[in-house]
Amino acid sequence: MAELLKVIFEREGIFLHPSPDEGSPDQDLLVSGSLRIIEKDAEILVEYRPLEDSVDPSNMLCAGQDSSSVVEWGQSAGEKSQSRQLLETQQSYETEWDMVNAVSFKKKNYTNGERSLNHSHERSRWAFSVNISDLKSITVKEEGWTFLILQLKDSSSSIPALHFHQGGSREFLDSLRRFALLTECPEDETRLLVSTPSKALSQSFENLLDDNNFGLVHKFKRDPYVTTLGSFSKVTNYIYDALRGTEEQQQQRPPEEVADLLGEVIPGLEINQQEEPGFEVITRIDLGTRPQVSRAEPVSADEWSKHQDPEGRIENEAALRQRIFKGGLCHAMRREAWKFLLGYYPWTSTLEERKSLQKAKTDEYFRMKLQWKSISEEQERRNSRLRDYKSLIEKDVNRTDRTNRFYEGLNNPGLTLLHDILMTYCMYDFDLGYVQGMSDLLSPILFVMENEVDAFWCFVSFMDQMHQNFEEQMQGMKTQLIQLSTLLRLLDLAFWNYLESQESGYLYFCFRWLLIRFKRELIFSDVLRLWEVMWTELPCQNFHLLVCCAILDSEKQKIMEENYGFNEILKHINELSMKLNIEEILQKAEGIYLQIRSCKDLPHSISSILGFDTQHRVSSQVDSGSRPVQQQDACSNGHCRDNRPQNSCRGVFTS
């Protein structure tokens, strides 16, 4: 099986300047090579590989974008700037290590077979590969160009200085910062100290994310299925130690320090410790009694048909959405109804219009599918991104829902469809491509649709909602974690304070819930029910955050009474997987919504998260399809609240 490499940074034309004491007889000899930061076997490595020929700097040429144009390398600043600009226009294509070279050289003349005898030795002599965890420091020097001196923790070994004649040192350091913390040395401002807590922390979170080690942090770069949860105690102990520090530092870390550590674990999660200007910090609020809510029976085929006119248009869409929210759908109706809920079919379309739409979408799908199907092996060999996508998809498809009858067994056609849809999605959105975890979002949709084209376009609509969860900076995850913490602080300040005291206030143990919408927390049939309820977009925006709050509300008593610490909270939340009752959760989540909605003086942040307009509540409820709440008949979703005191919602704020 071919080894999977992921290239994080890659640049050619990086030079070594061997000195006589390093065994180079020619003081003017330069060694040119390729510098990469790669991920290999869940490790981040810095690799340097010399190119075929050593370089005499007096003969060095720089190839421009037009291969017929060659610029002599000069030492003046203007010439160097021109050469650097030309080099940076080049495209780098990886074919293992046989790459299109952005630098051309006049080759030195060798006699008596000297080149063939010495080449292999010289090439291996200057090549090196080091794990970033073995780096102690990086010294940044300027000498007309930038060169970097990498110092290892093992003082008995040394690495030659890397000279960036054509630039790229800043990009190299920026790429390293994604995996290591670079801090300026107090004694030497040119020296950056290297520490790599993020590697171990990221691996810890990946082990936490799933009982199959479904690691999805930071574009999910680690192989998520390698390590099992058997190492859970080691994982949580590391996070605990990393956040708590040594015994001499047992006092609680400042919030900003915990935020920095979490930022390393979840790239892009830069938690702002300063409240927004004018934001009211909730110190105590009484939301009143939480109403009891009942669920309804699923929408049947007969009931669905009653909402269609003779031409197939959906009538009274708002009422139908409300019914789906309250009871879900019977399984026989999901194949049709999900297309409306996900926006593949317009609610106002006729049957004939949907047939025309499906024909056009079928043509569009197979045109995109043909794009990757028709790529030759030679083309694929020169497209590293497509190779990476394809390799990840093949790996994940073979591990997705294999106990489900639709995907079980060898040579299952369901697996082929899963693979082909994900590959075609790479053509549809090549910037995002494929990220581990997306197969979990597609699997239930394909299971319901049992049709390649329909499943693809429904998946596209779902990914439009989930896109930010999978982007490089994971802005969607950052936002949701902060919003969830804000909601929990409103709903149960005592519980939130307890989690904060256990350094769990950022709720990062909910990461997996949000990332793939509880796909790994619920049995398969409950996932279908939850998703169709959420797709109604009722009763408010971000209802899935209230689902999180409902689960936490059910578990808070055990967590607090047992005095769970950091480790125990992580372990307990993880062990809830496949033990949750979706109907009870939805009842409680709706009750929380009604409880919050009835509050007259909600903080602005809460209204914003849930999409409330505090000045136009009645009109916003009508727009969302919910029954308007009136003074004389304050009933919503079957629960009357007309006997509640006018001032039952009380809030005390400090600015």
Q: Is residue 183 part of a domain?
A: yes
For residues 615-628, average pLDDT: 43
Q: What's the pLDDT tens digit per position in 398-420?
A: 999 999 999 998 888 999 999 99
Please tell me whether residues 35 and 141 are part of one structural domain: yes
Please tell me whether residues 443 and 456 are part of one structural domain: yes
pLDDT at 48 over 50: yes
pLDDT at 80 over 90: no
The domain that contains 301 carries what CATH number? 1.10.472.80
Please tell me whether residues 350 and 411 are part of one structural domain: yes
Higher pLDDT among residues 562 and 145, named by residue? 562
For residues 425-435, average pLDDT: 96
Domain count, the chain: 4
Strand partners, 45: 38, 131
Please tell me whether residues 375 and 421 are part of one structural domain: yes
Higher pLDDT among residues 377 and 41, named by residue? 377
Q: Is residue 61 part of a domain?
A: no
**What is the domain range of residue 396?**
330-465
Report helix, strand and coil shares of the chain as percent, to nearest 5. 45, 15, 40
Q: What φ, ψ does residue 368 adopt, rounded to 5°?
A: -70, -40
Using the CB atoms, write b or e for 42-80: b if 16+ within 10 Å.
bebbbbbbbbebbbeeeebebbbeeeeeeeebeeeeeeb
Higher pLDDT among residues 5 and 203, named by residue? 5
Helices (H), 214-350: 232-244, 255-265, 301-305, 317-327, 331-341
Q: Is residue 627 part of a domain?
A: no
The confidence score (pLDDT) of residue 254 equals 52
Please tell me whether residues 493 and 457 are part of one structural domain: no
Please tell me whether residues 487 and 589 are part of one structural domain: yes
Residue 212 DSSP one-character state: T
Mean pLDDT estimate for the chain: 75
The domain that contains 422 carries what CATH number? 1.10.8.270
Alpha-carbon torsion (496, 263, 5, 92), positive or negative:
positive
pLDDT at 325 over 80: yes
The domain that contains 147 carries what CATH number? 2.30.29.230
Please tell me whether residues 42 and 175 are part of one structural domain: yes
The confidence score (pLDDT) of residue 262 equals 47
Please tell me whether residues 337 and 315 are part of one structural domain: no
Higher pLDDT among residues 153 and 333, named by residue? 333
Q: Which of 283-297, 302-316, 541-555 shows the lowest per-residue confidence on average (mean pLDDT)? A: 283-297
Alpha-carbon torsion (524, 526, 528, 530), positive or negative:
negative
Higher pLDDT among residues 169 and 640, named by residue? 169
Residue 610 near residue 542, CB atoms below 8 Å: yes
451, 515, 280, 492: CA torsion to nearest 10: 100
Please tell me whether residues 609 and 538 are part of one structural domain: yes
Higher pLDDT among residues 60 and 511, named by residue? 511
Q: What percent of the chain has pLDDT over 90?
A: 50
Q: Is residue 93 part of a domain?
A: no
Q: Pick from 403, 435, 465: which residue ends a domain?
A: 465
Q: Pick from 441, 465, 489: which residue ends a domain?
A: 465
Q: From CA 428, how far away is CA 439, in angstroms rounded? A: 16
Q: Pick from 465, 495, 528: which residue ends a domain?
A: 465
The confidence score (pLDDT) of residue 103 equals 27
The confidence score (pLDDT) of residue 90 equals 32
Q: What percent of the chain has pLDDT over 70?
A: 66
Q: Which of 147-156, 188-197, 428-437, 501-510 shows the lowest per-residue confidence on average (mean pLDDT)? A: 188-197
Q: Is residue 453 part of a domain?
A: yes
The confidence score (pLDDT) of residue 330 equals 97
Please tell me whether residues 507 and 565 are part of one structural domain: yes
Q: What's the pLDDT tens digit per position in 511-521?
A: 999 999 999 99
For residues 242-269, average pLDDT: 46
pLDDT at 220 over 80: no
Q: Is residue 83 part of a domain?
A: no
Q: Is residue 110 part of a domain?
A: no
Q: Hey, how many other C-beta atoms are within 10 angstroms of the C-beta on 517?
A: 23
The confidence score (pLDDT) of residue 82 equals 40
Please tell me whether residues 389 and 503 are part of one structural domain: no
For residues 103-112, average pLDDT: 37
For residues 293-321, average pLDDT: 96
Q: What's the pLDDT tens digit per position in 154-193?
A: 877 788 899 988 888 888 998 888 888 888 888 888 999 8
629's CB contacts (< 8 A; 6+ apart) are 597, 617, 618, 621, 635, 636, 641
Q: Is residue 422 part of a domain?
A: yes
> pTM surpassing 0.85?
no
Q: Which of 183-197, 206-220, 376-390, 566-580 shows the lowest per-residue confidence on average (mean pLDDT)? A: 206-220
Q: What's the pLDDT tens digit per position in 8-43?
A: 899 888 988 886 555 544 445 678 889 999 988 778
The confidence score (pLDDT) of residue 124 equals 61
Predicted confidence band of residue 473 (pLDDT cuts 50, 70, 90): confident
Q: Which of 301-315, 360-374, 454-468, 596-610 shows the lowest per-residue confidence on average (mean pLDDT)? A: 596-610
Please tell me whether residues 313 and 408 are part of one structural domain: no
